[in-house]
Amino acid sequence: MPALNIDLALEQGSTFVLEFQVFDDELNPLELLESYVDENGTTKYQFTDFSARMKIKKSKYRTSELYSSGTTMTYITQPGSTAGFVSDGIFFLGGSTGHMRIVITSDTTASFKPGRYFYDLELVESADGEIVSKLLGGKFEIDAEATK
């Protein structure tokens, strides 16, 4: 299935948040996290066989990046919580509901140079080798901040 082409925009110096749900080919929510109960009776979550990665670049053909993120940099312990909300990265939420959240903090976006960029977001399944599925892609517009 081809990636969903969605043009995104953010205001320089503002927190960017995008949350969405991922489904398999049969339109069932994709289980991105699995839960277990530890020895203290606390429900914990861990990644299944999936990870994600995102890049924002001035050109699709250049190697320099404005922003790069992936799930390996952040682990969220409570699906659906906002405990990790202030961290940059891609979070898997909601256990078996297939929810993902991309967060880019205001400190990070303040350093972005205004202009038009391109982005894509890929889901990587590592159960049987590496299967890469591009989920989202498109233009990424950054509007200048006037209140610096």
Sign of the torsion angle spanned by Cα atoms 141, 10, 58, 76 = negative
> Mean pLDDT throughout 86-102?
74
Provide the 10 A C-beta neighbour count for residue 14. 14
Range of the domain at 37: 4-141
Cβ 84 vs Cβ 101: under 8 Å:
no
Tokens describing residue 96:
């078996």
Task: Give 10-59 pLDDT, tens digit per residue.
Answer: 999 999 988 888 888 888 888 777 777 788 887 666 667 788 889 999 99
Q: Residue 148: inside a domain, yes or no?
A: no
Number of domains present in the structure of the chain: 1
d(CA 35, CA 14): 33
Q: Residue 146: inside a domain, yes or no?
A: no
Q: Residue 147: inside a domain, yes or no?
A: no
> Is the confidence at residue 134, as pLDDT, over 50?
yes
Q: Residue 22: inside a domain, yes or no?
A: yes
Task: Give 63-83 pLDDT, tens digit per residue.
Answer: 889 999 876 434 444 445 555
Look at 60 and 85; give whichever has higher pLDDT.
60
Assign residue 20 the CATH number of its domain.
Answer: 2.60.40.10
Using alpha carbons, list the distances in angstroms from residue 24 to 9, 29, 108, 122, 136: 27, 6, 32, 14, 15
Look at 40 and 148; give whichever has higher pLDDT.
40
